[in-house]
Structure 1
Amino acid sequence: MTAQRNRLDADRWHFSHGPIDVIAEAHGDAAVVAAAHEAAWQRFACVLDELVGELRELRRPIQTVQATHTLRGPIARRMWSACAPFSAGFITPMAAVAGSVAQELVACYLRAGIERAWINNGGDIALHLAPGAQVRIGLLADIGTFDWRGAGPLLTDGQFDITADVPVRGVATSGWRGRSLSLGIADSVTVLAATAAEADAAATVIANAVDVDDVGIRRKPASECKDDSDLGDIPVTVDVATLDSVQVRRALDAGSACAQALQAAGRIHAAVLVCQKQWRVVEPLCSDALRVAQPVGRVAMSAVGSVFA
């Protein structure tokens, strides 16, 4: 198995290697963009082997991992740093793997001549925005409703703009329907934070907190869902029946409280929590700096300067 790449258009490349699947997009001077894409590709080709070499440590609970002694690579150490603030609960550095990889690759685009760039690693996004630049993020609340065969404009449940003056360079989404396992029942929790690694870790924690006791929720040990899960035998959500609206509100209350605490501690900028068609938005502390479109139904995604979470 070797890393592969495919050029999608003048601005975008698709990089893939095993479980890592990345879309890299950049805008600016054509020669500079091309050089940055090549640098990102060269870095990407080494990423999976680096992580596999440290996988044993990265799957251990964060409290048992000493980054300065046991972790060698910059991505592994970034994963640890993003998860360390949540060591009071159960978390492993793997909670920040996608965001940390995206953040490593976007560094290749931090050069004069590039107006904006982003790495989208399965919905976990790292951004580069030069002064005056902005990007629009489209939000799909429930991946279970997404029809991959659909044609025409991409329809989203909400959109928000990030400008260069906003302290957000990472967007990540977690939930029980996603590619990672979750302890909670959120269809999705999308977090905006200073970095992609921090957004990834926080989205995991908040999604876990969107929870309630109910007979309509089915769980089983993580080890029965994935043989190599870093969660071991911890019960994870595998199915959620249609719940009473009061129960959904309680679950969202718990998740919102978690998100607000992280915001107060400076860990996140904002968050959108979704569970069974109910929404909670934890607004930015400076709401004028970030325009968040309240999700009210599917709308077409703008084609220019847009990325999908």
Structure 2
Amino acid sequence: MHPISAILPCGRRLHLQHGPIDLIVEADGARDIAFEAAQLRFQSLLQGLVDELALLKTPMTAECARPHGRVARRMDEAARPHTNVFVTRMAAVAGAVADEVLATMLQATPLDRASVNNGGDIAVHLSSDQNYRVAMSGLDGCSLGRIAIRASDKIGGIATSGRGGRSLSLGIADSVTVLASNAAMADVAATLIANAVDLPGHPAIRRLPANQLRDDSDLGDLPVPVSVGQLSAQDIQDAISDGLNTAETMLGRGLISAAHLSLGSHSCQSGASRLVISTTQKVPQYA
């Protein structure tokens, strides 16, 4: 399969697709130059990842060898601060791809505002007077609220993980949305925070080894929730509190700027004072 590239009917967006990578690219400024640069870089992007896939799927340790490709290095840099828990560089792949395409456009030409959306993991560039808004939605498609960022917030990446995402999750979070300085960092953090929203051993949660669900999963035989039955309000609070604690730790280390967590009818958030997050649900702050 060859890379697919097409300007969408609105004329303001570029669609790039190759294998599992599916991007929607926007650029305000010298759009033609930016889109041409994105298209050129995209031609070899997937192959570069395939060439190092074995290493990228290996669990991270502090002693791990570093990859060579530009996107692979972005994945490595984003995952390396989290070697205290199970993580592979693949936790950053969607965000790292978005970061790489965005960086390529910005190297080609100055832009007022640009974004690269890789299935909901988004790399964002904003000049001094620009802003960016994005909606959050739950497993049922209902709105969880909206995020608004400005250039002064220094947010370069937005990523979402959880049971409703494209990748398998070790936890039971419906969704976790994270904002960070780049999309790769947001991607890893969202994955790990969603993993932490969990109730190990709970009888209402059915799990199967990840490699029984997807034989190419980087999670190997780790148990993945496949169904979540009735949970009490206390169960939900306990699970979401564990995820919030993980988010708070990342916030304290400067790895993320904010996170919004959702499970059932419950939501909570961390770091919201640093940017605007409006929600359609009550957002308790669990200890």
| Residue 92 (structure 1) aligned with residue 91 (structure 2) | no
Q: Distance in 2 between matches of 1:108 and 1:11?
A: 18
Q: Distance in 2 between matches of 1:113 and 1:212?
A: 47
Q: Which residue of 2 aligns with 1:152?
A: none
Q: Distance in 2 between matches of 1:291 and 1:231?
A: 34
Q: Distance in 1 between matches of 2:14 and 2:130?
A: 21
Structure 1: tracts of 5 or more residues without a match = 147-154, 298-309
Asked if structure 1 preserves the Cα contact closer than 8 Å seen for 2:176 and 2:193, the reply is yes
Structure 2: tracts of 5 or more residues without a match = 283-287
Superposed displacement of residue 113, structure 1: 4.9
Asked if structure 1 preserves the Cα contact closer than 8 Å seen for 2:171 and 2:197, the reply is yes
Aligned match of 1:119 in 92, 116, 120?
116
The amino acid across from 1:243 in the alignment is L
Q: Which residue of 2 aligns with 1:230?
A: 218
Q: Distance in 1 between matches of 2:186 and 2:110?
A: 27
Superposed displacement of residue 290, structure 1: 1.6
Aligned match of 2:170 in 183, 186, 199?
183
Q: Which residue of 1 aligns with 2:53?
A: 55
Q: Distance in 1 between matches of 2:106 and 2:126?
A: 9
How many pairs were matched up? 278
Q: Distance in 1 between matches of 2:72 and 2:64?
A: 11
User: What is the TM-score when the length of structure 1 is the normalising length?
Assistant: 0.87
Superposed displacement of residue 296, structure 1: 3.0
Q: Which residue of 1 aligns with 2:129?
A: 132
| Residue 295 (structure 1) aligned with residue 270 (structure 2) | no
User: Cα deviation per residue 1:151-202 (whole Å; 9 max; x = unaligned)?
Assistant: xxxx732112110011211000000221101110000000000110000010
| Residue 212 (structure 1) aligned with residue 199 (structure 2) | yes
The amino acid across from 1:132 in the alignment is D
| Residue 65 (structure 1) aligned with residue 50 (structure 2) | no
The amino acid across from 1:122 in the alignment is G
The amino acid across from 1:126 in the alignment is A
The amino acid across from 2:117 in the alignment is N
Q: Which residue of 2 aligns with 1:278?
A: 266
User: What is the TM-score when the length of structure 2 is the normalising length?
Assistant: 0.93
Q: Which residue of 2 aligns with 1:149?
A: none
The amino acid across from 1:58 in the alignment is L
Asked if structure 1 preserves the Cα contact closer than 8 Å seen for 2:170 and 2:194, the reply is yes
Aligned identity (percent) is 44
Higher RCO structure (Cα 8 Å, ≥6 apart): 1
Q: Distance in 2 between matches of 1:35 and 1:156?
A: 35
Asked if structure 2 preserves the Cα contact closer than 8 Å seen for 1:242 and 1:276, the reply is no
Q: Which residue of 2 aligns with 1:81?
A: 77
Asked if structure 2 preserves the Cα contact closer than 8 Å seen for 1:109 and 1:128, the reply is no
Superposed displacement of residue 283, structure 1: 2.6
Q: Distance in 2 between matches of 1:160 and 1:90?
A: 29
User: Cα deviation per residue 1:78-137 (whole Å; 9 max; x = unaligned)?
Assistant: 101100111111111001000000000011332655210100001000001111111111
SS at match of 2:132: strand
Q: Which residue of 2 aligns with 1:108?
A: 104
